[in-house]
Structure 1
Amino acid sequence: MTQWNIDPGHSQIGFKVKHLGIANVSGFFRAFSGTVQTDNENFEHATVTFTLEVQSIDTNNKERDGHLTSNIFFDAAQFPTITFNGVLANDTLKGELTILNNTRPVTLQVEHTGSGIGRFNDHRAGFEINGKINRKDFGLNFHLLNDAGNLIVGDDVKLSGEIELIRL
């Protein structure tokens, strides 16, 4: 069994959600950790776990970030982390995502972007991850319409990750 850790200095986990039905608002989490365990070098059937620190959310707007970490959305005081546990097979990562203590199955698309030796002779591997969830499936039920009848915050959330792993 080989273990790999996410290199947070060379990785990013982000999201996009529609605002007013007209444009996307993007954000990411500044603090996260994760591991990948595999029996082979091609990562087939690797087990993947990661944890996001909710308080580290960053949408480039402090007021909105405060709103997102409040009890109206993520309730960081009561639910400080978002977790995922899954298995990678055939460029698909299937697992269980937990937000607000609600656990649901999620399928993400994965592209292995390369492997090689790092600057300090360490073994590294890169991945791009993409998927989509419905926020209401996880209890993120904030619901407000504008005068035109559009949702202030869309239901679908696009997930993305640029992940670099270091083999231990």
Structure 2
Amino acid sequence: MANVKWVADPAHSEIQFKVKHLMITTVTGYFEKFNIEAETTDDQFTDATQVIFTADVNSINTNNDQRDTHLKSADFFDAENHGEIRFEGRNYEKTGGDEYKLHGDLSIRGITKPITVNVEFGGIVVDPYGQTKAGFTVSGKISRKEFGLTWNAVTEAGSVVVSDDIRLQAEVQLVKQA
């Protein structure tokens, strides 16, 4: 059987990140423009032979224009020179029940590092339009400093403005391609 191709349904998917601000609250952001492509050897998503995720850095949205502009600047993502975030999954490993780990390489600002994210497989359904869809909840954590996102400031009391840990959260629907 030939590999089965899947692509993201952007209307039913969201890619978020969360970061501590002043170490007392969490700011949530997301990417409005992204793409996910996957290949499996069967219809049941028991394996994934390839997973590629890309996000357009210029589509970042934290519900604050000034902060978004700062995030796109050279202090953070440097969107002018590094307009895309890319993840290439290389190993989709079942850990029990509907739980998986996806190991791959994440590239931000021209720096590529291996990361592992947790994947909860939500199942496969055929929607009212006859499309076969697979659902996933993805979560993980990265160190922003490992990817060259080192800007920070210190408050009068000595605490940092932005934490190093970035929590990743995604709700993803993939559509099986004919």
Do these two structures clear the TM 0.5 threshold for a shared fold by scoring above it?
yes
Which of 41, 45, 55 is matched with 2:58 structurally?
Answer: 55
**Distance in 2 (alpha carbons) for counterparts of 1:148 and 1:52:** 36
Which of 3, 13, 16 is matched with 1:14 structurally?
Answer: 16
**Distance in 1 (alpha carbons) for counterparts of 2:15 and 2:112:** 19
Displacement over 6 Å in runs of 4+: none
- What CA RMSD, in Å, does the superposition of the two structures yield over aligned residues? 0.8
**Distance in 2 (alpha carbons) for counterparts of 1:43 and 1:119:** 21
1:153 is matched with which residue?
A: 162
- Percent identity reads 42
Matched residue count: 168
1:68 aligns with 2:77: no
Specify the code of the residue in structure 2 equivalent to 1:89: E
Identify the range of structure 1 (43-52 vs 153-162) with the bigger mean alpha-carbon deviation: 43-52
1:29 is matched with which residue?
A: 31
Q: Which runs of 5+ in 2 are unaligned?
A: 95-99
**After the TM superposition, which residues 1-168 of structure 1 pair with which residues of structure 2 at under 5 Å, given as runs?**
1-46=3-48, 47-86=50-89, 87-90=91-94, 91-168=100-177
**Distance in 2 (alpha carbons) for counterparts of 1:137 and 1:157:** 11
Specify the code of the residue in structure 1 equivalent to 2:156: D
**Distance in 1 (alpha carbons) for counterparts of 2:10 and 2:38:** 14
| TM-aligned CA deviation for residue 119 of structure 1 | 2.0
Q: Deviations over 1:28-71 (max 9, x none)?
A: 00000010100023323302101000000000000000000011
Q: Deviations over 1:79-129 (max 9, x none)?
A: 000000013211001000000000000100000112100121010010000
Calculate the TM-score normalised by the size of structure 1. 0.97
**Distance in 2 (alpha carbons) for counterparts of 1:13 and 1:62:** 18
**Distance in 2 (alpha carbons) for counterparts of 1:129 and 1:88:** 12
